[in-house]
Every structure is written in C-alpha cells, then in structure tokens.
Structure 1
Amino acid sequence: MKNILMFCLFAVSFLSVQCTNSDNNQENNTITQEMLDAKKAEVMTLINNASCTGACNYIAFGSKPCGGPKEYLLFSSAVNLTQLEDLVAEYNEMEHQFNIQTNAISDCAVVLPPNTVACVDGSCRIIN
C-alpha cells in the first residue's frame, strides 16, 4: 500500500512538472502584434537606409491567413539582399504563426507582384 501511495505521489508530481513546462513553452512561442511591428520596422529600416541609384527589385512580404503574401516591398539593389531575405523570412513566419494563434481571417484575394519597378527620383517605384 505504501508503494502504491509513493507511486501515485511521484506520478502526480511528474505530471504537474510536465504541464508547467508545456505552458511555459507555449508562452515563449506566442507571437504578439508588438513583435510583428518591431520586425517590420527592422525590415523597413534596412530598405529605407539604402538609397536607390540603380536597379530596384521587390520581395513578397507578410502572410495572409489564406496563404500568399500581403504585399510586395520595393527595394534598391544597394540593400544587403541576404540580410533582407532573412529578415523577411523571419517576419513572414512570425505572421503565419500569429495568424494561426489568433484564428485570423482575410479576403483571400491574391496579391500580384508588380510588373515593373524602377528607380525614380531616388526611390524605387512601381512603373505602370
């Protein structure tokens, strides 16, 4: 009887620790709007710090709940492309997780990339 009581006590202690760890992991993985805003500001700072003197390009940005990007960001060829791609990938994944966490919905409209972008008066613009 004493052994059964000790086993039950051990099992309850073990399970309570498991629940606590699981709850902490869930809290650590929660994406907030503030986190998204900060990451977007980091992306925009990188893009805005590079003046356009030559070619321009675009990158898919954001994650719609239905799938696909929310928009396309224009950037100069002077931007560190590897750093930009890494930051945008981080943002897109964060927003995807945020959409799941908040059960977000959207219009599911497909956002098409721009046809032509060019440097006009020192900034990248869409040319129609």
Structure 2
Amino acid sequence: MKNTSFITFLFSICLSLLAFQCEDDITQEDESAELEILRLKIETLAKTSICNEEFECKYIGFGSKPCGGASGYLIYSTSIDTEKLESLVLNFNQKHAAFNTKWGIISNCTVTDPPVEINCENNTCVAVY
C-alpha cells in the first residue's frame, strides 16, 4: 500500500514538472495565436446580438494596452448571454495583459476613450465616438 502511494506521488511530481516544461516552450507566436482564437470567439458571440425595444446596447473594455486600460471597446446587446460574454472578455483581458508583460510588448500609451453613446440602427448596436 505504501509503495502504491509513493509511486502515485512520484508520478504526480513527474507530470507537474512535465507541464511546467511544456509551458516554458510556448512561443510568442503560439500564445498570440491562442489570444487571436479567443478574440474571434468573443467577437463572433458579440456580433450575434441584436437590438430593438426589448434589448439594450452595451459596451465593455476589450483587450489590454501595455500601459494599462482597454485596447478598445466591444459593442453588444443584452440579446445574448451577457454573463458568458463578460466572463470571456474578463478572461481575455487578463490573458492579454499577461501576454504584454511576459513578452515586453510596448505601445503608444494613448488612452482609448469609450463610446459617448451607442445607437440601435437596423437592429445593430452602433458606437458613436
């Protein structure tokens, strides 16, 4: 019985070390591609939203600038699963910020202003800047 526990323990350690080794081997291009896939998934979900008298248009900060703040703003309506969208965006923003830090990404550090209003035109939310 002791032997089985010890073997299981060693196996767990080996798996952990292997996982850490694989994480270190990821390239900037690989990580960027993963972010792009997540970005497209989020944008696709947001684009399925519609607006009318029943659904409200909204926006959320999307992406992370290296100096801080949102890279831009994602426009959507409450016709979709907003909790899912907001959770995906939060996850993306955290991963994007970590990517910027890990790879030393720089930018112009200008502040990206949110929309001043969002109009519903032809059942589509449109940002006004």
Q: Percent identity?
A: 30
1:23 aligns with 2:24: no
SS in 1 for 2:76: strand
**Pairwise mapping of residues 47-86 of structure 1 onto structure 2 (< 5 A)?**
47-53=46-52, 54-86=55-87
Task: Write the distance in 2 (CA, Å) between the matches of 1:55 and 1:95.
Answer: 28
Q: 1:27 to 1:117 in 2, by over 3 A?
A: same
Of the structure 1 ranges 50-59 and 99-108, higher mean CA displacement relative to structure 2 is found in 50-59
Measured against aligned partners, the alpha-carbon deviations of 1:15-73 in whole angstroms (never above 9, x if no partner) come to xxx98665334347x76111011001110111112222232010000000001000011
Quote the residue 2:102 is aligned against: 101
> What amino acid is the match of 1:23?
Q
Task: Write the distance in 2 (CA, Å) between the matches of 1:21 and 1:52.
Answer: 45
SS in 2 for 1:32: helix
Count of aligned positions: 111
Quote the residue 1:88 is aligned against: 89
Residue 84 of structure 1 and its aligned partner are, at CA, apart by: 0.7
Task: Write the distance in 2 (CA, Å) between the matches of 1:65 and 1:123.
Answer: 31
Structure 2 gap ranges (5+):
1-15
Quote the residue 2:36 is aligned against: 37
Structure 1 gap ranges (5+):
1-17
Residue 112 of structure 1 and its aligned partner are, at CA, apart by: 1.3
* TM-score, length of structure 2 as denominator length: 0.75
> What amino acid is the match of 2:80?
V
Quote the residue 1:120 is aligned against: 121
Larger radius of gyration: 1
Q: 1:41 to 1:20 in 2, by over 3 A?
A: closer
* TM-score, length of structure 1 as denominator length: 0.75
Task: Write the distance in 2 (CA, Å) between the matches of 1:59 and 1:21.
Answer: 34
> What amino acid is the match of 1:62?
G
Q: 1:20 to 1:38 in 2, by over 3 A?
A: closer
Q: 1:76 to 1:22 in 2, by over 3 A?
A: closer
Whether the 8 Å contact between 1:55 and 1:118 is mirrored in structure 2 is no
